[in-house]
Structure 1
Amino acid sequence: MANLPGINKLNNKTAFLWLATASLSFASSAYAAANIEVSPKATQLARDALIVDTHIDVPYRIEDSYADVTKATKDGDFDYPRASRGGLDAAFMSVYIPAEYEKKGGSIALADRLIDRVEAMVGRAPEKFALAYSTQDMLDNQKAGKISLPMGMENGTPIEGNMENLKYFYDRGIRYITLAHSKSNHISDSSYSEDKPHQGLSDFGKKLITEMNNIGMMIDISHVSDQAFYDVMAVTKAPVIASHSSLRHFTPGWERNMDDKMLQALKKNGGVIQINFGSAFIHEEANGYNNKRKAAVAAYKKAHPKASEQDVKGFEVKYKKENPYPYASLDQVLDHFDYAVKLIGIDHVGVGSDYDGVGDSLPENLKDVASYPALVQGLLNRGYSETDIRKILGDNLLRVWQAVESYGEKH
């Protein structure tokens, strides 16, 4: 789940405009997604390769508005039929904890409830889905033709300052923790917070990194402040992931994305950046869209102090019609892959789409989990080899997760 300047949904997934599935039409040998023609080669590679998407926000989506994703759904970005068509092998289910739970309490209960929902998905369709507590589980599930549902916790608030809770959630299946989300918490400062109370990681956060290493749990540095990132780099003994981040080079000044220096530190650590597909992560115009819209509404209100609420809404509708949201293109998403690969190498880049977490802001050709073949086609068109594409789709994440497991087994 990502907070976007282009989509006003801070801690409010109820406002999502879930995307329809009719944007893709399928044929026996290839399918057309918007304006890209996906070849049989790309379709087959998507089927054969291990595809691991490290951030999909299904649990909170169905907590807020229930849908049975073991079957086709009219809304959202993920369900079994589309995931199967897209060749997805492992979808990390995001156990998303809104930032306000840090103060109001109840985060453990919410996390348990969302984990229960993932387990229930598998229970309803054990021939389609399977839990994955390890890399071996994931590979075994792939061989059995099942989609793995490993889990990551987005926002470490449920740890509640107690290392016993880390072990509890590991035992429940959590395999990575995004240390903070839209506000700083007791573990880490957030990239979104103006206040940075810890100036990086808290003292507890630094101890948590060591314990996560020792237990064999991946550390996710998406959402944390720059200083918190460097604190993690200084403490961790195992590779880390950015489960759903993109590149600041294309969104200058936006701390939520990673800059070049951070990417180089990630390479030295042996970690991987999983590229987020949300349009606001991809290009500057989408990144600033919502701020411009808010400024226009504020200017209208100032110029029309007696305007009714209906008048203001009418202005907003007119503004959006005249200034439509600037969706990213597949080519712009591919630019992020190209830039990262050239800067830090093919072994450190992967896929963390943020499906079901970025609302109606997904790029053309990448509207849901049926779209991975379009990504593959784009990479083929840019000259990537099949081996390199396999690394991006899942092998790089597999390597990192295996390294984290190995470190945990030795400590």
Structure 2
Amino acid sequence: MCTKPLLLVFFACPYGAGWTEDKHLHDYLDRSRACGITGHSMTLAAAGHTWENFVWEHQKWKSTMAQTPDKYIFVRSVRDIEAAHIRGNTTAVVWNSQTSTILNGDLKKVATLKEMGVGSMILAYNDLFRAGSGSLAEFNGNNTGVTSWGLSVVDEMVKHGIIVDLSHMGPKTTHGIMDYMDEKYPGVPYVFTHSLPAGLYKNEAKATKRGCYRNISDEEALRVVKSGGYVSPTFTEWMMDGIWPDDITPQQCADMIDYYVKLLGVDHVGIASDDMFTTKPTMDFVAKNAAMYSDDGYMVNAFNKGATGCGELAKILPAITDELWKRGYTNEEIAKIYASNKIRVYREVWEGFSPEEDPVDKAERDKFVKEQREKFMER
């Protein structure tokens, strides 16, 4: 039986942007298994992808993985993740979509997504879409917020047990979805699968006259606690306001984790990565689609200032763990951050599991959120 800790991460690395050759995927996942990562939530679609794009991408990933079929378990329940962990040298695969445009306007497709193993979905990635306004759209003044269509998508996601992922959406859209969830589906967790804390870089953001539009505020993060969800920082150099290292350090990764633990409590923090094997495809795409990245040159400037690394979690995770130990984190706390907090949310949303005794009492959780919000408003 495997005695390594169970580790679950978010792997936002779609084909064509993150990996461009079959070997890239095989080599990376071999490294991730070697360093003890049990499973990944893997992005299949983003931005304005259609249903046809999504199905093609799904087939590409599956056919590539079929070259070494014994190394993958496609997750339909938490038991599948546990099975991958027990077997060892096996990757648990959870699918994610960073857009709801893949529905092609058909809500019935949400049930199909569930059957295909999609565990979480973002409604509006970065720009303006039918479901609502993404982070860049709102940065540029289009504060449409979540639409009635977007809320209909939320209804279907909750109905079929797909986690509502708030990453990369604008604050108005995010708060609108949170308001709706809190009122109509109290106790159903929502999450940020890969979002950096704006508060960690507030001084650098002031120096550069602005912050990264994809990073989230303390207020947004704190609302997740009330729902029972989690927030996972992603170790992405170009979103680190005013720092923009060529390669992120384990210490900088631990800074992000530590910031969220102090803000939210250790029961509501995860870990993620936006790993890419080369940034060239991304930057080529940005150059060809400038209108989709009208951010006053923020992204390109970040890359030009040094953020050209890829921060592969499979390379630096052991050093991050060492750094967390140095900072006094216990094995139990690290286990929560690396997997247990996600497993709890997976059980609740995917399987409708409601533990007899909430590990974080609702009244205590509400009190904690209130105290933390007041504390961080004073800073």
Per the normalisation by structure 2, the TM-score is: 0.76
Q: Could you say which residue in structure 2 is the equivalent of 1:84? A: 33
Aligned-residue RMSD, C-alpha: 2.5
Retained in 1: the 8 A contact 2:134–2:168?
Answer: yes
Q: Could you say which residue in structure 1 is the equivalent of 2:275? A: 355
CA pair 95-357 structure 1, distance change in 2 beyond 3 A:
farther
CA pair 404-199 structure 1, distance change in 2 beyond 3 A:
same
Larger Rg: 1
Runs of 4+ with deviation above 6 angstroms: none
- For 2:193, the aligned partner's letter is S
Q: Could you say which residue in structure 2 is the equivalent of 1:55? A: 11
Q: In structure 1, the residue corresponding to 2:274 is in which secondary structure? A: coil
Q: Could you say which residue in structure 1 is the equivalent of 2:93? A: 149
Higher relative contact order (CA 8 A, sep 6+): 1
Q: Confirm whether residue 171 of structure 1 aligns to residue 126 of structure 2.
A: no
Q: Confirm whether residue 340 of structure 1 aligns to residue 260 of structure 2.
A: yes
Moved more, 326-335 or 256-265: 326-335
Q: Could you say which residue in structure 1 is the equivalent of 2:377? A: none
Residue 251 of structure 1 deviates from its aligned partner by 3.5
Q: Number of matched residues?
A: 312
Gaps of 5+ in 1: 1-44, 73-78, 102-106, 287-324
Q: Could you say which residue in structure 1 is the equivalent of 2:288? A: none
Structure with the higher fraction of residues in helix conformation? 2
**Per-residue deviation, residues 32-52 of structure 1 (Å, max 9, x unmatched):** xxxxxxxxxxxxx9x711111
- For 1:338, the aligned partner's letter is D
Q: Could you say which residue in structure 2 is the equivalent of 1:330? A: 250
- For 1:178, the aligned partner's letter is I
Q: Confirm whether residue 389 of structure 1 aligns to residue 334 of structure 2.
A: yes
**Per-residue deviation, residues 237-272 of structure 1 (Å, max 9, x unmatched):** 211121111100133443311111111111111111
Retained in 1: the 8 A contact 2:250–2:316?
Answer: no
CA pair 257-370 structure 1, distance change in 2 beyond 3 A:
same
- Distance in 1 (CA, whole Å) between partners of 2:277 and 2:164 is 20
Retained in 2: the 8 A contact 1:184–1:196?
Answer: no
- For 1:130, the aligned partner's letter is I
- For 1:394, the aligned partner's letter is A
Retained in 1: the 8 A contact 2:31–2:314?
Answer: yes
Residue 184 of structure 1 deviates from its aligned partner by 1.4
Q: Confirm whether residue 181 of structure 1 aligns to residue 125 of structure 2.
A: yes
- Distance in 1 (CA, whole Å) between partners of 2:265 and 2:277 is 28
Q: Could you say which residue in structure 1 is the equivalent of 2:147? A: 202
Q: Confirm whether residue 248 of structure 1 aligns to residue 198 of structure 2.
A: yes
- Distance in 2 (CA, whole Å) between partners of 1:205 and 1:153 is 15
Residue 187 of structure 1 deviates from its aligned partner by 0.8
Q: Spell out the pairing of 1:255-404 with structure 2 (5 A cutoff).
A: 255-286=213-244, 326-356=246-276, 359=279, 361=307, 366-404=311-349
Q: Could you say which residue in structure 2 is the equivalent of 1:110? A: 53
Q: Could you say which residue in structure 2 is the equivalent of 1:214? A: 159
CA pair 347-118 structure 1, distance change in 2 beyond 3 A:
same
- For 1:385, the aligned partner's letter is T
Moved more, 164-173 or 259-268: 164-173
Q: Could you say which residue in structure 2 is the equivalent of 1:67? A: 22
Moved more, 114-123 or 204-213: 114-123
CA pair 160-58 structure 1, distance change in 2 beyond 3 A:
closer
Residue 66 of structure 1 deviates from its aligned partner by 2.4
Moved more, 218-227 or 228-237: 228-237
- For 1:65, the aligned partner's letter is T
**Per-residue deviation, residues 116-156 of structure 1 (Å, max 9, x unmatched):** 12222332212212211221211112112211111101111
Identity %: 20
Residue 282 of structure 1 deviates from its aligned partner by 3.1
Retained in 2: the 8 A contact 1:55–1:93?
Answer: yes
Retained in 2: the 8 A contact 1:92–1:149?
Answer: yes
CA pair 378-282 structure 1, distance change in 2 beyond 3 A:
farther
Per the normalisation by structure 1, the TM-score is: 0.70
Moved more, 352-361 or 147-156: 352-361
Gaps of 5+ in 2: 203-210, 281-306, 355-379
Match of 1:124 among 49, 67, 71: 67
- For 1:403, the aligned partner's letter is E
Retained in 2: the 8 A contact 1:92–1:150?
Answer: yes
Residue 200 of structure 1 deviates from its aligned partner by 1.4
- Distance in 2 (CA, whole Å) between partners of 1:233 and 1:70 is 35
- Distance in 1 (CA, whole Å) between partners of 2:146 and 2:171 is 10
Q: Could you say which residue in structure 1 is the equivalent of 2:290? A: none
- Distance in 1 (CA, whole Å) between partners of 2:277 and 2:131 is 23
- Distance in 1 (CA, whole Å) between partners of 2:268 and 2:279 is 27
